[in-house]
Amino acid sequence: MPPLSPFRHAVAGLLAALLPLLAGEPVYRTPSAPLAALVDAPSSPVAVLSPDRTRLLLLDRPEAPSIAELAQAELKLAGLRVNPATNGRSREATYTGLSIQPLDGGPARRVTGLPTGARIAGYEWSRDGRHLALTLVFTQGSALWLVDVAAAATRRLTDPVLNGFFGDPVVWLDNTTLLIRRIPAGRGPAPIEPAVPAGPVVQESKGVRAGARTYDGLLGSPHDEALFDHYGTSELALVTLDGRETVLPVRGLLSSVLPSPDGQHLIVETLQRPYSYLVPSSRFPVTIDVHDRAGRREYRVASLPLNEGSDNGSVRPGPRGVGWRADAPATLSWTQDLGRNAKQPDGKTARDAWFTHPAPFNGKPVEQQRFEYRVTGVQWGDDGLALVSETWTTTRVTRLWNVAPGTPGSARKLLFERKTEDRYRDPGRAATVRNALGRLVLARGPGGRLFFHGQGASPDGDRPFLDELDPATGTTRRLWRSTPPYYEEFVAFLDAGFTRALVSRESATEPLNFLVRDYPNGALTPLTANRNPHPAFNDVRREVVRYQRPDGVPLSGTLYLPPGWTPAQGPLPTLLWAYPREFLDAENASQVKATPERFARVSPTGPLPFTLAGYAVFDDPAMPIIAPKGGKPNDAYVEQLVANAKAAIDELVKRGVTDEKRVAVGGHSYGAFMTANLLAHSTLFRAGIARSGAYNRTLTPFGFQSETRWFWQAPQVYAQMSPFNHANRIKAPILLIHGASDNNSGTFPIQSERFYAALKGHGATARYIVLPHESHGYRARESLLHVLWETETWLATHLAKTASP
């Protein structure tokens, strides 16, 4: 047979592409070339500072995976997603290669010896920075490999025996010994589900309140329990630098293993039965024990019961947040509820107690202090100083205390108190350094002063800062603040005198890179040279827009305009992409988030690509939902949501940017929920795009987002906020997209499925896309391209000047 001509080749290719469409088969589509190019744009490497602060580890991020990779077998067990072939987490972030960048200005060295096709799922520096432990994932499992940093070379330490069911299975005990969670030797095949069930699945409530939010992928049968036991069970083993392995007598569902700073003791958390079909494994019964380095149990910290739910503000009885004191060889630290679970604290009655207990763990634990809110973290300095933070969720009050752990019960000093939603008054977080034990402790300058660094939110946008704080008086002195046109953030000090630091730096036109800053003379030494991954976006104009809601609440957002557009060309079709947030007061709700000095990160799942298709994009315009006097934020959700949207559109129309008859609204997750509500309760928009949302709040009856009331406490709020209940009012076309394997709490795929059925039942114009194998966020290259195509086509169809209103 003679070869086909080029013309016939083209016709044959066109027919091959069209036949699935003509046959009604699902086909992944590709958007216009400028949008498609964004999916394949290279990502900058992830940078990690070495413990000795002389090098940067640069990890290469992979391209978007193929749908074939996402389609691999996956088990959903007790809220975890597991690849049975590797016995590790599925969908976890992995890396394809690594380099070592010296901070003295020398060139980066590529690490050699990695096996072809292996993916780096975990990494951890040794304390001295001479070695790097890698968890490499292969098709048949995960293995431990070692990087000799000086030689920039790798070698294998174990076979693929690591058990990553509960997360990274590798941790250093000291500079020459690693501790691993491994698959038990001689483990047999996975249990097979019986063809005939032995009986029904039975659950029973015995009069105890147990309201839990909705979770994905829970256990649902005895077979699920058997699989959870099979894949989750591991045993501990020591591995030396020469690959010698010593198995320890510690085995079970080891959900967490934390070595003490001196490497001689281990906190081991082991999950126990009975399991639950209502909550994930993090709420299963658990024993918390301390073992010595040989695996012998030394001390039981706690045996905690199943926690299937609780009233707002309460926690599971017993120790929580069990860890090690960072500035001591082996001292336990934990917090414990005092049994006063009132819904609203009075700010005076203690409800949390903080304990420590040093090795050899004899006698009673030491009660350090009592706190009025929930303790959320401890930063260690020495016997004279530790920083303890406490927060209460419903009132959003947070405090930072200066305490002396060497003198339990001594007077503590309040350093900061603010609302968590008050970004302008955020003091930042304390800078740290590594001590001789390799643990992070508070950096102490002359006179014992501390250093705080943060984003520095202000009416002009974020201006990162570095402050010096006297813990005795609580007074601060500003040492440095980022100034336009750059956005620069402190990362870590590099010298004992606290004069040199690793910083990250970017601008509106330059991507983020790492440099060394010398504070006394202001000198900057570049370390990385990341390039703009999407040069086509260079000519997009960006502006922070400020405006007001009709009730006087100041709002802001970031406006992006297509390359080359001028007002003389007339107003543009516009995409408004947002995400509502709840606030307790108008002052904090009006704070500016947009920062013009930051480099625009163009994600294929965000709205910015569509500036390249000729649309104005108003990204993240403020959508505050503010609590009315004496009420909760969501009591006025719909009214405020519509007021926010109208204020945004009015401002863009006033500027001559937007054609008010051609505006689309879109969002992801809670932004999708917002989109559906705006279409149900206003006529402001020509079309909507809702991705991975929840639309019926009776399917999340024990609270959602920042709403802590249960459905039965506020049925009218749940009803009014559910766009499913108002589907008959939606007249504008809406595009629904949802991942078939959404794992986010509350956004089960059935939310979109039933919402689409309601829309279709009422004759609405709607399109419903289910992305195979995708979770709450979309990852596969084919999916990303198709979502761009769907959105581009939807906007072109419904925002065209000839489209019907």
- State the first-to-last Cα distance of the chain, in angstroms, to the nearest integer: 55
Rounded to 10 deg, the angle between the 670-681 and 637-654 helix axes is: 80
**Sign of the alpha-carbon torsion through 141, 142, 144, 149:** positive
Number of neighbouring beta carbons within 10 Å of residue 566: 7
- The helix/strand/coil state of 634 is helix
Single-letter code of the amino acid located at 56: L
- Is 776 among the catalytic positions? yes
Residues 6+ apart with CB under 8 A from 206: none
Q: What is the DSSP letter of 593?
A: -
Q: Are 179 and 266 in contact (CB under 8 A)?
A: yes
- The helix/strand/coil state of 276 is coil
Rounded Cα distance, 66 and 86, in Å: 18
Single-letter code of the amino acid located at 180: I
Residues 6+ apart with CB under 8 A from 638: 677, 681, 720, 721
Torsion region of 590: left, alpha or beta (phi above 0 gives left; psi -120 to 50 gives alpha): alpha
Rounded Cα distance, 659 and 684, in Å: 11
- Compute the radius of gyration of the chain from its Cα atoms: 28
Rounded Cα distance, 736 and 184, in Å: 45
- Which DSSP helix (H) or strand (E) runs through 19? helix 6-22
Number of neighbouring beta carbons within 10 Å of residue 82: 25
- The helix/strand/coil state of 240 is strand
Residues 6+ apart with CB under 8 A from 106: none
Quick one: which of 112, 99, 121 has its CA closest to 48?
Answer: 99
Q: Are 727 and 703 in contact (CB under 8 A)?
A: no
- Is 742 among the catalytic positions? yes
Rounded Cα distance, 49 and 621, in Å: 35
- Which DSSP helix (H) or strand (E) runs through 333? strand 331-337
Q: 300-304: long-range contacts at Cβ-Cβ below 8 A with a sequence spacing of 24 or more? A: 301/267, 301/332, 301/334, 301/357, 303/272
Rounded Cα distance, 358 and 656, in Å: 68
Per annotation, catalytic residue among 142, 255, 742, 786 = 742
Burial 518-527 (b: 16+ CB within 10 A, else e): ebeeeeeeeb
| Burial of residue 159 (number of CB atoms within 10 Å: 0-12, 13-18, 19+) | middle
Tracing tokens 């402001």 back to the chain, one arrives at 684
Q: Are 733 and 798 in contact (CB under 8 A)?
A: yes
Q: Are 609 and 600 in contact (CB under 8 A)?
A: no
Q: Are 686 and 803 in contact (CB under 8 A)?
A: yes
In the chain, DSSP finds a helix count (H) and a strand count (E) of 10, 47
Write out the two tokens for 386.
């530790």
Per annotation, catalytic residue among 174, 470, 650, 776 = 776
Rounded Cα distance, 37 and 784, in Å: 11
Burial 661-681 (b: 16+ CB within 10 A, else e): ebbbbbbbbbbbbbbbbbbbb
What residues are paired with 57 via a beta bridge? 48, 100
Q: What is the dihedral of CA 775, 781, 784, 787, to 10 degrees?
A: -100
Per annotation, catalytic residue among 260, 669, 692, 775 = 669
Rounded Cα distance, 792 and 785, in Å: 10
Catalytic residues: 669, 742, 776
